[in-house]
Structure 1
């Protein structure tokens, strides 16, 4: 989240509207703090896999990617946060081994979120994963999954999927 805040503050300096940028960032900080204070979580954080793209091998969010920060703010745990990268290709065996409870699909490009979801639901190799067995998918639009003003909305969407299902 700090990356998004810093980007907004830098844009404020560049365009000579520092006070407006500081006010906006403070609004986002307050909104997120208020949301997190009211977030009702129970038990262990749900195990989340971020599916960006790829059928032969998935492209996913590692420890330093924005979706990991969003997932953590929503009370979840990215199963690929052991990768010391922003984004990386992994093998499907690693995903199956981690057995995510929920799959976050990043929606953009020629392959739609629905096609990605169908690929996972219809592939026998994934049939025993908790997320697939229980049909637990949530979609983030590209603008929600990258640093920017839609991140707070994304955190709320993820928290609803993690804790209110």
Structure 2
């Protein structure tokens, strides 16, 4: 299994096949090579069910997906009827931020938590945008992805020290939600991410 094989890179399903290695590309990553609809949690569930079949643990996969569905339904019920804050996901980058368009799984996570991805009109998966578009969309909440050499605290400091961003509501009000990389990429931790985001968006206690 691989998440996000680099298109044009050295490691591809074709290069692995002669070595007897089979590859499974997660659904979200297919947006890099083929037209895709908006990312949904069904993509995650289907991947988990497929992996259950591949590794002959189908019953466990089905039980896991059923529990994930129940947990997400509980969150959605808790935020139903509440206003949907505009949310910007800040992955990385200073000159141009990396974020999630509507083909990336955070689109589904933010929506399930009762928010609105301010980059949801961008027909891309994980992609770079310009800061002008962030200022124009004026998110109320910023989700900071915590991974790599630049810490979440450093990313927050950059946001708060960049004069061009000081009109953004999320920055003025210091409304940030830090999430680990594993929680905002497809997988079982997506449910925890939805619960955390919902609590941050709506002050929902779980």
Q: Give the TM-score, by structure 1 length.
A: 0.95
Q: Alpha-carbon deviation of 1:87?
A: 1.4
Alignment match, 1:24: 64
Contact 2:75 2:198 in 1 (8 A): no
Measured in 2, the distance between the counterparts of 1:84 and 1:113 equals 26
* Match 2:187 to one of 140, 148, 160: 148
Measured in 1, the distance between the counterparts of 2:199 and 2:81 equals 11
Alignment match, 1:134: 173
Q: Alpha-carbon deviation of 1:42?
A: 2.4
Moved over 3 A (4+): none
Measured in 2, the distance between the counterparts of 1:30 and 1:40 equals 15
Q: Alpha-carbon deviation of 1:7?
A: 1.6
SS across alignment from 1:135: coil
Contact 1:41 1:163 in 2 (8 A): no
Q: Alpha-carbon deviation of 1:21?
A: 1.1
Q: Alpha-carbon deviation of 1:40?
A: 5.3
SS across alignment from 1:111: coil
Measured in 2, the distance between the counterparts of 1:20 and 1:137 equals 35
Q: Deviations over 1:88-110 (max 9, x none)?
A: 11110111111111110111111
* Match 2:148 to one of 109, 114, 118: 109
Q: Give the TM-score, by structure 2 length.
A: 0.77
1:72 aligned to 2:123? no
Measured in 1, the distance between the counterparts of 2:78 and 2:128 equals 35
The structure with the largest alpha-carbon Rg is 2
SS across alignment from 1:75: coil
Provide the aligned length of Structure 1 versus Structure 2.
164
Higher relative contact order structure (alpha carbons within 8 Å, sequence separation ≥ 6): 1
Contact 1:66 1:147 in 2 (8 A): yes
Contact 1:40 1:163 in 2 (8 A): no
Q: Deviations over 1:99-157 (max 9, x none)?
A: 11111011111111110000001111111110111001101100000010110100010
Alignment match, 1:36: 76
